[in-house]
Amino acid sequence: MQQRLILTVIALLVLFPLCKAQNTLIRFGIKGGINYVKLSESHSSTVPPDANSWLTSYHAGVIIDLKMKEHIFLRTGLDWQGKGTKYENTLTKNGKAAPMYLELPLNLILKKGAKHTDLYLGLGPYIAYGMGGKHRYAALVTDGTVFSEKITWSNEPPVTIQPGNGGYFKRVSWGANALCGIEFSGKIALNLQYSYGLSNARPLEEKYGQRGLSAGIAVFL
């Protein structure tokens, strides 16, 4: 998976000057913005569920628009995405798990043009690969001692039940995006996006789905 992501980055860097030189119907840009994220838990065991709440994070990356028809575009790129959640449970208070992912979206975009602006809607899948992040929490079993650790990437559940388990995440995740926005003169775009994780984000019995709202800006080069 790491090799595939590296090859994707190399391909983007190679395609950029080629497409510019040949004046093709491909546009490149950069983007960034804020994320509002949490985990939703499908509870199925005898262990009391976590109380998850929204966490503020960010995203940044490169964006590629490929024109397919007059009003239809394929939008992809490579994003550095912050996800995770705030949480509390019987062992932990003030928990904050903030994993970071390298994410590849593939959205079909429908645009409706006006004189100087375009309104657009989009929908499509994404796949993400965990690359880092932090987990901070107060452990009730040690009278509220605060711990700060790196995110633990694993497909296997923790051996024992303990406060630090909130920092366990699966390396690979996938889901779907829905987005809308407005573009000004083909140069600057503002967008809102909702992300719905379809895979289990954590290696536990309960299914933890990643959910996210984001607002961002893109500048086409």
Mean of the per-residue pLDDT values of the chain: 87
Residues 152, 164: Cα–Cα separation, whole Å: 9
Average pLDDT, stretch 57-72?
Answer: 93
Residues 210, 155 contacting (CB under 8 angstroms): no
pLDDT number for residue 181: 96
DSSP character for 140? G
The 10s digit of each residue's pLDDT in 87-103 is 998 899 999 999 999 99
pLDDT number for residue 18: 45
Closest CA to 216 of 195, 201, 198, 197: 195
Tell me how far CA of residue 133 lies from CA of 12, 73, 100, 152, in angstroms.
25, 33, 5, 9
Q: For domain 2-220, say whether CATH 2.40.160.20 is its number.
A: yes
